[in-house]
């Protein structure tokens, strides 16, 4: 599969993996894909080549995570702040995304085999329409898989995610699905606790099958 | 992994951890010895590179740390110190407008934190926030303030009793060192809990039909947060202690903050503090660009 490099570990890699797996292992690892442009400069290649090789390294890293039994991986691929870059670079990154998501949709069998649930988090309306469509197809096609979870943060900032979660809750209140309750001018710590759970549930990055259901707060 | 095989891998894992601990201890020892040397910066870079290879993430990038014996007070009177520290600040390419001092160690030291706050003020940093994840500084706010007032008097010869405790408006045009730096003492309730309260308040307004859910965006939520009213977002956080986490320090506000880790705030020297400022001044910040 293009997003998860095929092939098993070498003997040395298997040896190291077995030692590492003997100790405590994270259930969820996040990668910030930083340094593509510095790498390109160091290797005297174009920036676009740096980004492309960054993706290849990600594919290799996802293979390692799979082998190590790390079931959830989050990748910070593109921030809303990155739209400030030159049009040429942004277009190049969008082309790369287009290419990779299209390729992903051609590999349905492989996705099914690995049981990868793909989630894309971010302010997707900021992206070109065709990329939004590709993303939607990838997310829908894999929504029922649950062997491992790949969260791709694309057009993402944490502030956007948090304010989105609060907006979702406010929508729930408007629809009568949620009911805020407070005592005078003070929220009890119990309601605060329930609200934290509720907010957590609304955060798109925390939507795993094991998250508790929404409560009133 | 089960049985004898599993046992063998666990034994190898334990051996690997022991070796890493030994290497960390050795590096710390050698770092301490080399710290005062003329090539201290070179040593730190080498140690950082070596530590990175050996996966010693917490140790890598840590600054040379001088234990007991480091003089907090430099020779010369208060006036000289004031001048010297102020010109140190001016000499830097950039100075943080808001500096966060985050202690991850279990037992914070009021005297050492007070020194750090006073140095921040002395070099010209306008906003300073102090944080520990147990809320110890916040609960004992008056004790910290007393210590700061004492050190301002001792180190800088200033009497700021009228200013430091109150929340004063900062006149940005006035960079002359007096008592115009502002301090906030924060705890975890100013972080995630503040976001939760803002969410509660907004949802209450929606329930009362005074607002609609579409009104809420990043800017609206930013304005609803109250823990850092009047303060800009932190430019720089100095994180003290071995924990690789900011432990809940203003999660909303630190999206673009440069974070520099130091081993400990205990017996910290002005040189270590200024070293970190120097590192910040030299760092390239592209803001996503």
Residue B5: per-residue pLDDT: 82
Together in a domain, A70 and A152? yes
Query: Does A69 map to a domain?
Result: yes
Per the rule left: phi > 0, alpha: psi between -120 and 50, beta: everything else, A136 is alpha
Mark whether A36 and A126 lie in a shared domain: yes
Residue B185: the pLDDT is 94
Per-residue pLDDT of chain B (289 residues; tens, 9 = 90+): 567 888 889 999 999 999 988 988 888 777 666 555 444 444 454 444 444 444 333 443 444 444 433 445 555 688 888 889 999 999 999 999 999 999 999 999 999 999 999 999 999 999 999 999 999 999 999 999 999 989 988 888 876 554 443 333 333 323 333 456 889 999 999 999 999 999 999 999 999 999 999 999 999 999 999 877 889 999 999 999 999 999 999 999 999 999 999 999 999 999 999 999 999 999 999 989 9
Does the structure show a pLDDT above 60 at A175?
yes
**What are the backbone dihedrals phi and psi of residue A30, each rounded to the nearest 5 degrees, phi first?**
-110, 140
Are A181 and A116 part of one and the same domain? no
- What distance in Å separates residue B105's CA from the closest CA in chain A? 23
Per the DSSP assignment, residues forming a β-bridge with B258 are B236
CA–CA gap between residue B88 and residue B74 (Å, rounded):
14
Using CB atoms within 10 A of its CB, is residue B23 exposed (0-12), middle (13-18) or buried (19+)?
middle
Residue A78 lies in a domain: yes
Looking at CA atoms only, how far is residue B75 from chain A in angstroms?
44
Q: Rounded CA gap, B211 and B218, in Å?
A: 15
Q: Which of A129, A156, A183 is the last residue of a domain?
A: A156
| Contact state of A157 with B255 under an 8 Å Cβ cutoff | yes
* A165 domain residue, yes or no: yes
Closest-approach residue (CA) in chain B for A85: B289
B contacts of A16 (beta carbons < 8 Å): none
On whether residue A51 sits in a domain, the answer given is yes
pLDDT given for residue B156 in this prediction:
84
Would you say residue A204 has pLDDT above 80?
no
| Same-domain status, A113 and A165 | no
Longest distance between any two alpha carbons in chain A, whole Å:
65
| pLDDT score, position B112 | 96
On whether both A79 and A90 belong to a single domain, the answer is yes
CA-based nearest residue in chain A for residue B9: A19
Mean pLDDT value across residues A93-104: 92
Looking at residue A66, its pLDDT comes to 87
Q: What is the pLDDT of residue B207?
A: 92
Report the interhelical angle of A47-67 vs A87-105 (nearest 10°): 40
Q: Which residues of B touch A23 (CB under 8 A)?
A: 10, 13, 17
Q: Check whether residue A169 and residue A127 sit in a common domain.
A: no
Give residue A115's domain range.
11-156
Inter-residue contact A73 to A65 (CB < 8 Å): yes
Q: Residue A187 above 50 pLDDT?
A: no
Tell me: do A142 and A101 sit in the same domain: yes
Cβ-Cβ contacts under 8 Å, B1 against chain A: 18, 21-22
Amino acid B282: pLDDT: 95
Q: Where are the beta strands (DSSP E) in B5-47?
A: none
Average pLDDT, chain A: 85
Query: If interface means Cβ-Cβ distance under 8 Å, which residues of chain B face chain A?
Result: 1, 6, 9-10, 12-13, 16-17, 192-193, 195-200, 202-204, 206-207, 211-214, 216-218, 220-222, 251-252, 255, 287-289
A213 and A132 belong to one structural domain: no
Last residue of a domain, one of A103, A138, A156: A156
Rounded-to-integer distance, Cα B206 and Cα B225, Å: 17
Check CB contact under 8 Å for B1 and A21. Answer: yes
User: What pLDDT is recorded for position A189?
Assistant: 55
Q: What is the pLDDT of residues A63-88, one digit of tens each?
A: 889 889 999 999 999 999 999 999 99
User: Which CB contacts under 8 angstroms, 24+ apart, belong to B45-54?
Assistant: B51/B24, B51/B27, B54/B20, B54/B23
Same domain (yes/no): A142, A184: no
Examine residue A208 and state whether it is found in any structural domain, yes or no. yes
Task: Classify residue A4: in a domain, yes or no.
Answer: no
Tally of domains in chain A: 2
Cross-chain Cβ contact A179/B214 below 8 Å:
no
> Residue A67: CB partners within 8 Å, gap ≥ 6?
A8, A9, A13, A17
Of the pLDDT bands very low, low, confident and very high (cuts 50, 70, 90), residue A145 is very high
Which of the listed residues A128, A156, A184 is the one where a domain comes to its end?
Answer: A156
In whole angstroms, give the CA distance from residue B270 to residue B116: 8
Strand, helix or coil at A148? Answer: strand
Note whether residue A3 is domain-resident.
Answer: no
- pLDDT recorded at residue B253: 96
Residues A132 and A216 in one domain: no
pLDDT per position as a tens digit, A112-137: 988 999 999 999 999 999 999 999 99
CA distance A115 to A110: 8
Do A139 and A188 share a domain, yes or no? no
User: Would A2 be classed as within a structural domain?
Assistant: no
We report the CATH number of the domain holding residue A95 as 3.40.1180.10
Whether the CA torsion A151, A155, A157, A160 is positive or negative: it is negative
Residues A50 and A79 in one domain: yes
- Please give the residue of chain A at the shortest CA–CA distance from B217: A163
B68: number of CA atoms within 13 Å, CB side?
0
Statement: residue A36 has pLDDT above 70: yes
Enter the ipTM: 0.81
**Residue B252: its chain A contacts at CB < 8 A?**
159, 162
């Amino acid at each position: 599969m293009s997003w998860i490099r095929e092939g098993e570990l070498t003997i040395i890699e298997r040896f190291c993996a077995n030692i590492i797996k003997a100790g405590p292992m994270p259930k969820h690892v996040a990668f910030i894909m930083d340094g593509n442009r510095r790498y390109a400069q160091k290797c005297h290649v174009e920036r676009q080549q740096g980004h492309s090789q960054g993706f290849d390294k990600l594919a290799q890293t996802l293979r390692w995570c799979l082998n190590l039994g790390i079931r959830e991986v989050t990748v910070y691929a593109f921030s809303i702040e990155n739209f400030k870059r030159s049009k040429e670079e942004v277009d190049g990154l969008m082309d790369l995304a287009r290419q990779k998501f299209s390729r992903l949709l051609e590999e349905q069998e492989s996705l099914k085999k690995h049981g990868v649930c793909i989630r894309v988090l971010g302010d997707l309306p900021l992206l070109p329409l065709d990329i939004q469509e590709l993303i939607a197809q990838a997310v829908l096609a894999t929504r029922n898989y649950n062997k491992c979870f790949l969260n791709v943060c694309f057009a993402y900032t944490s502030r956007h995610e948090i304010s989105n979660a609060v907006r979702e809750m406010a929508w729930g209140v408007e629809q009568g699905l949620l009911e805020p309750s407070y005592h005078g001018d003070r929220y009890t710590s119990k309601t605060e606790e329930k609200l934290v759970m509720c907010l957590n549930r609304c955060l798109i990055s925390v939507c795993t099958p094991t998250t508790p259901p929404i409560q009133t707060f | 992994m089960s049985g004898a095989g599993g046992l063998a891998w666990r034994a190898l894992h334990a051996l690997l951890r022991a070796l890493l601990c030994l290497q960390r201890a050795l590096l710390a020892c050698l770092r301490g010895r080399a710290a005062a040397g003329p090539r201290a910066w070179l040593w730190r870079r080498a140690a950082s590179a070596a530590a990175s290879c050996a996966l010693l993430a917490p140790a890598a990038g840590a600054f040379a740390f001088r234990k007991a014996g480091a003089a907090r007070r430099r020779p010369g009177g208060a006036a000289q110190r004031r001048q010297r520290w102020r010109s140190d600040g001016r000499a830097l390419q950039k100075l943080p407008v808001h500096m966060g001092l985050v202690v991850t160690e279990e037992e914070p030291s009021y005297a050492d934190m007070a020194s750090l706050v006073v140095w921040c003020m002395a070099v010209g940093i306008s906003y300073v926030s102090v944080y520990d994840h147990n809320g110890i500084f916040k609960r004992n706010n008056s004790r910290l303030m007393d210590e700061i007032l004492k050190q301002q008097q001792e180190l800088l010869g200033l009497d700021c009793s009228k200013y430091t405790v109150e929340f004063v408006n900062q006149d940005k045009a006035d960079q002359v060192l007096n008592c115009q730096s502002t301090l906030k003492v924060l705890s975890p309730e100013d972080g995630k809990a503040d976001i939760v309260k803002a969410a509660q308040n907004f949802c209450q307004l929606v329930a009362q039909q005074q607002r609609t859910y579409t009104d809420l965006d990043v800017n609206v939520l930013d304005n609803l947060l109250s823990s850092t009213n009047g303060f800009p977002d932190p430019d720089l956080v100095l994180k003290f202690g071995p924990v690789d986490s900011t432990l809940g320090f203003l999660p909303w506000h630190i999206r673009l903050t440069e974070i520099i880790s130091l081993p400990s705030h205990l017996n910290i020297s002005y040189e270590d503090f200024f070293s970190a400022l120097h590192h910040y001044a030299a760092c390239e910040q592209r803001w996503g660009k």
